């Protein structure tokens, strides 16, 4: 299998309440930067042949040095990200298209991942790549533990309660056949339409396309708020104790 990975790592980490000059991707978990864990998982995934990362301009040299030092040989380019996550992913898509034109070949699938999800495992990446090749699209998810309600028309009060047994919390990496992902992003750009994940673009512009569910455990967290750091340390200890 030949999958390319896009890692979106160009956010500002607003909800992490960072100090001036700090970057969420470079915070340390288990002695390594968050993004180091993330890249390592894709480096080790057998299905992945190339990795493209979008990050802030000032972090490009740091990530290039990290890749050289750590033997992340699959890293093909570190690109400047965009205003929104979707823009950062699109910048990587453009780089992949350039590579496709030069080489005359296309990857079977493209996997889009958040740099801030460091605990995805190489075998999970391979399984998502396999399922996205089989079905055209595959998204990892897990079951919410809390009951989820809409906010009401008066935003100070609740609206309806959603049926929890039909809900899933979606994560990344989200895998798509290359042409599907490229077309969905091109269409979104044309319409100026933004969503919080890539699968939502596919759902909107290719509603007939099934998106396969890949149920994961609860380790694939997105490091988002300060409370996630001690949780991430605990998950890291648990994962490494089993190695």
Ligand X SMILES: C[C@](O)(CO)[C@H](O)COP(=O)(O)O
Ligand Y SMILES: Nc1ccn([C@@H]2O[C@H](COP(=O)(O)OP(=O)(O)OP(=O)(O)O)[C@@H](O)[C@H]2O)c(=O)n1
Question: Which residues does residue 151 pair with via DSSP β-bridges, in sequence order?
Answer: 158
Neighbours of 72 (CB within 10 A): 19
The only residue of 43, 91, 172, 216 in contact with ligand X, by rule CB under 6 A:
172
Here the tokens at position 150 are 């809409």
Q: Choose the stretch contacting ligand X; rule: CB under 6 A; options: 118-126, 167-175, 212-220, 231-239.
A: 167-175
Stretch that binds ligand Y, among 8-16, 40-48, 136-144, 162-170 (CB under 6 A): 8-16
Q: Is 221 in the site for ligand X (CB under 6 A)?
A: no
In which element (H, E) is residue 55 found?
Answer: strand 48-55
The one of ligand X, ligand Y, none whose footprint includes residue 170, by CB under 5 to 8 A per kind, is ligand X
**What binding mask, one character per residue, do residues 117-156 give for ligand Y by CB under 6 A, x or -?**
----------------------------------------
Range 76-115, binding ligand Y (CB under 6 A) = 81-85, 88, 114-115
Name the minimum Å distance from CB 65 to ligand X.
26
The 3-state DSSP class for residue 44 equals helix
Question: What does 5-30 look like in DSSP terms, one character per residue?
Answer: EEEEE----GGGTPPTT--GGG-EET
In the block, tokens 């958040």 appear at: 114
String of contacts with ligand X for each residue 39-78, x by CB under 6 A: ----------------------------------------
Measured between its terminal Cα atoms, the distance across the chain in Å is 25
| Contact by Cβ (8 Å): 161, 121 | no
| 111 close to 130: Cβ distance less than 8 angstroms | no
The C-alpha atoms of residue 220 and residue 128 are separated, in whole angstroms, by 13
**Which of 23/132 has CB closer to ligand Y?**
23
127 near ligand X (CB under 6 A): no
Q: Which residues bind ligand X (CB under 6 A)?
A: 85, 114, 170-172, 196-197, 222
Q: Which residues bind ligand Y (CB under 6 A)?
A: 8-15, 24, 54, 81-85, 88, 114-116, 222, 224
């Amino acid at each position: 299998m030949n999958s390319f990975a896009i890692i979106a790592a160009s956010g500002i980490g607003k909800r992490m309440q960072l100090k001036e000059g700090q970057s969420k991707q470079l915070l340390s978990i288990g002695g390594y930067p968050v993004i180091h864990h993330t890249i390592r998982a894709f480096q080790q995934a057998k299905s992945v042949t190339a990795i493209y990362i979008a990050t802030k301009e000032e972090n490009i040299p740091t990530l290039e040095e990290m890749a050289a030092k750590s033997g992340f040989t699959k890293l093909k380019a570190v690109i400047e990200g965009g205003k929104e996550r979707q823009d950062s992913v699109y910048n990587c898509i453009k780089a992949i298209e350039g590579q496709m034109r030069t080489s005359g070949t296309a990857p079977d699938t493209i996997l889009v991942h958040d740099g801030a999800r460091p605990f995805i495992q190489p075998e999970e990446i391979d399984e998502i790549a396999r399922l996205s090749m089989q079905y055209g699209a595959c998204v990892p998810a897990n079951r919410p533990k809390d009951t989820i309600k809409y906010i009401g028309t008066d935003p100070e009060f609740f609206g309806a309660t959603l049926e929890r047994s039909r809900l899933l919390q979606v994560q990344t990496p989200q895998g798509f056949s290359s042409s599907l992902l490229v077309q969905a992003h091109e269409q979104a750009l044309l319409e100026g339409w933004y969503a919080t994940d890539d699968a939502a673009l596919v759902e909107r512009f290719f509603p007939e396309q099934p998106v396969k569910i890949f149920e994961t455990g609860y380790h694939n967290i997105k490091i988002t708020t300060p409370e996630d750091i001690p949780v991430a340390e605990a998950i890291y200890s648990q994962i490494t104790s089993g190695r």
